[in-house]
Amino acid sequence: MATEIERKFLLANGNWRTKVVTSIKIIQGYLSRDETTVRIRKSGNQAWLTIKGPSQGISRLEYEYAIPPADADQMLMTLCDDQLIEKTRHLVPVDALTWEIDEFHGRHHGLIVAELELPHEHTAFERPDWLGQEVSSDPRYRNSYLASNPFSGNP
């Protein structure tokens, strides 16, 4: 168990692209998208089941377990309502922290969101010039919401 503390931003420009050190493809779906979410995620030949509790500000309880990739494949195909999210996660280190910049594909093409996991709610962090509007508390940018609501352009 861990507490996930995460801030989330839109992107002001594409300057982050030259700073990417790693990019990974992710496909994920949800077994439950209530206040508590149950997510199946697959990346390459690894897979995880992740439970996140209700949001308390920018914090949520999070429990993550590695599961057999074949189980994930089956659950994504049969139990996730065809409402899958596909994205490429780009890792961009800034200072001692690493931004995760998610570029969505398919139904959510055009959506790019930068996320930063913090050790504490009030941890200070550098704001690179490519950082746009903060959307940490905007439920429309939750992946569990996007799963059933195609993206229709940044505001």
Q: Are strands 22-33 and 37-43 parallel, antiparallel or unpaired?
A: antiparallel
Identity of the residue, 59 or 154, whose beta carbon is nearer to a copy of itself in the bound complex: 59
Shortest approach of a copy of itself to residue 66 CB, angstroms? 9
Site residues (vs a copy of itself, CB under 8 A): 1, 31-32, 34, 36, 38, 49, 51, 53, 61, 63, 65, 67-68, 70-71, 74-75, 78-79
Of 75 and 112, CB closest to a copy of itself: 75
- In the complex, minimum distance from the CB of residue 102 to a copy of itself, in angstroms, rounded to a whole number: 24
User: CB of 90 within 8 A of CB of 103?
Assistant: yes
- Cβ-based neighbours of 20, under 8 Å, separated by 6 or more: 90, 91, 92, 101
Residue closer to a copy of itself, measured from CB, 52 or 108:
52
Whether 30 is catalytic is: yes
DSSP assigned state of 56: B
Per annotation, catalytic residue among 30, 63, 65, 145: 30
CA dist list (Å): 10 to 84, 107, 155: 21, 18, 10
Give min distance, CB of 63 to a copy of itself, in A.
5
Are the C-beta atoms of 55 and 71 separated by less than 8 Å?
no
Catalytic residues: 30
